[in-house]
Every structure is written in structure tokens, then in C-alpha cells.
Structure 1
């Protein structure tokens, strides 16, 4: 039941709104040298899992500078600090970035040694399980990257069911003190809704199918124009 509610909440797209952060103060002046950079902290092998990859140069810079900025500007939000540090990183010269990159290389060398030690203590079955988990992580990462790419390219959103439209219309008035309770209440209301009352939502779902079909045709035509035939549906690419 909990899984059903979670799935419904995900499909419904219930989320909190985030306001735009205020404008930042003038660009911080910063100075540093290789002596100011924190020494490389090697990750020791833990029995609970494999060693973690070390931070790259950019992440090391953020990790080191964030506490300094936060102490100087306690009123600034975390997102504002990260954005400002990212701007500083882009403005830095290769020479200024070099100490952080060197620290990253040292961390990678130690990481490889830690991985070898970790794998040496595993059985063949554990090694196979480790390889399987790695494949799953890579597959998940590729799926996320593909989704982000499709969003960036403006792929139309998928169709919504009649129940989705019903939830959108009735969610605020639904019974329950929290989202799962409201969703469970809406499920029960939908089951008890008459066929006549469901027609309006069914029609909205049918109209949405037409919207999706038209939007996808326009989008795929555009993808073909820019040379992204790999994103076309199989039936469309054959034509």
C-alpha cells in the first residue's frame, strides 16, 4: 500500500515550490596558495563497502572554501554560497586550480590502491555481486543523463490518465492531513465515482493523448532537422 501511494505521489508530481534566491553581494576577493589547501585525506577501506572515490579539483575547492564564506557571510544561503564559489572557480587561472587538481590525482592513486586491497579480501561471489551493483549504478546514471538531455531538448511530457486529472482537480480538497493520506482518500473517491462523473476526466485524458501525439510529431521533426534521429521512435525513424 505504501509503495502504491509513493508511486501515485511521484506521478502526481507533488513538490514544494522554491523561491528565487536574492541577489548576491559583490564578488568575493579570495587568495590562496598551495599551502592553504587541505592535505589529501585518503579514504580507508571499510568493511561495509568499497572505498569511495576522492573529490575532484572543483569539489575540493568548494569543500575547502565553503566554511570560510559561510563564516564571513552567515546570512547567505547554501545555494548562494555554492553558486558564488562556482563563479570564482570559473574565474581562476589554470595555475590557481593546479594545487586542487594535484590533490585529486594523489587521491585517485590512493583510491586505486584501496580498491585493490578491498577486492583482494572478497570471495568470487562477492566480486560478482560488486560488478553487478556497478552495472546497475551505471545504468541508472545513464538513464538520469538521458532524461536530463530529453528535458533540455524540450521533449513533450507524457500523457496523463483520467485518474491523474482527477487527482489534480481534487487534491486540495481531499481528506487527510498529509500527502499519503490525501492520495489514499482520492483513490477511494475515484473507486466510488460514478461512470457519468468520470466522463469529464476520461475526456481530458483522451484530449491529452491528442496533445501528446501532435507535440511529439513536431518535436521529432525538429530532432530530425538537427540530426538527432537517435531520439526518434522506431516507427518514426523507419519512415
Structure 2
């Protein structure tokens, strides 16, 4: 059982480093950039908040329920049966260790527990305070219907989404401002195949339990949507399948279809006036 709980932690660690806390579901998104550096960004559709803590709690509960302890003779090598007092002492130490681990995971997510109604309410409340979040509706199981729009000037970097008090979210879209008046746009959150191994691991883990019962994390999503860049700036590079297409009198559009066959995140390099 102890090996099972440690396995969960070992598997979750790279996912947390990859910041798979939020991921898109079905969506449409557009980034419009003018040659003068003004921009408008929209995202409409689903965002999934993945319930890592459900899996952690399930593993800890199983471990504590069947805990037997490990005791050794004075030589430190020969294993023996533990007495009741020793089991109780080791179990309390294990509960403390599990609580500290849960607190560590919760800290990465700004104290938000996706499995609790209070955590969901806190998540919605934080977003509603931030500019651009025009609609946040929780449908259940960590799925949110989102309408986001914002306008501004690209005199500094821009990324979406950003959440107060939450560390290291992989952005769905990021625009990096260069010194030479160029703008690099990347959309790492829309890279299905790049994130596929992580999401596939999550899917397997969501049904993994030493007792044979599922350790539910909620639905495991796959991004499914369209991302577009519309601009009258010079398009220096892009990785769309068909290249830029005309959009009105002086605009050109780059379009990416995001689904389970998407091999690489959208990227483009624009040159402003």
C-alpha cells in the first residue's frame, strides 16, 4: 500500500511540473493583432480544472485504512510484527506526512480543491474579480463554461489564462514582445499530442486503485476547437497547415484546428510597424 501511494506521487510530480491544472475542452479562440501593436483576444468554450487532489486523497485514505506498520529487531534488518502502540505511532506519522503532502499540492493551486464546492466557488470568485472574465459557469465535474475577452496594447507580454495566487499554469496562448518590434505567439495549451502522454497518464490514473475501486478525478478532456490569429502585420513565420488567408481588405488570418491529432502547438511570428 505504501508503494501504491508513493507511485501516485511519483506519477503526479511530472504532471504538476507540466502544469496540467487547467486545460481547454471544446472552444473557439481568436487573437487579433494590429500592426500598431493593439490587440484583442477572445476565448469562448470549456475549461477543465483537473482534480489531482481527488487522487491524492483516495491514495492516502487507502493507505491509512490498511496501515500495518513496519518494525525490526535490534539488528535493524530482521523484520518482526509491530505491537499496537508502534502501529499507532507510525500511523499518526503517516497521517501527518499525507496531510503535509496534500497541503503542498494545495499550495501549488492557490489553496483551491477542485473536488470541493468551496474550492470551485473560490475559483469562480477569483476569476470574476479579474478583467476579461465575462462568464464563468461551473457545469459540474470541474468543467467550466467560459467567455473571456480583453483588449490592450502589446507593449508587454500577454498570456491566457492567468489566475491570482496559482503557480505555474501552462498558458493556452502567450504573446512575447521582442525588442525588434516582432511578436511571437505560442499556444502551448492547445498542443494535444505534446500533452497527450500526460493526459493519457491521468486517464489511467483516474481508474487506478489498489482496492480495485476507481480513484475518480473526473473527466479527462482533450482540447477540441479552433484558434485563429487575425492581423494586418507582416507574418514572418507560422506553422499552420495552409498558411495565411485573406480576411477582408487588408487583414490575413492564420487558423489552427485543435483536436486529438494536433501534433504541435500553434506558433507564429509577426512584425509590427
Q: TM-score, normalised by structure 2?
A: 0.21
Identify the structure with the greater helix proportion.
Answer: 1
Identify the structure with the greater strand proportion.
Answer: 2
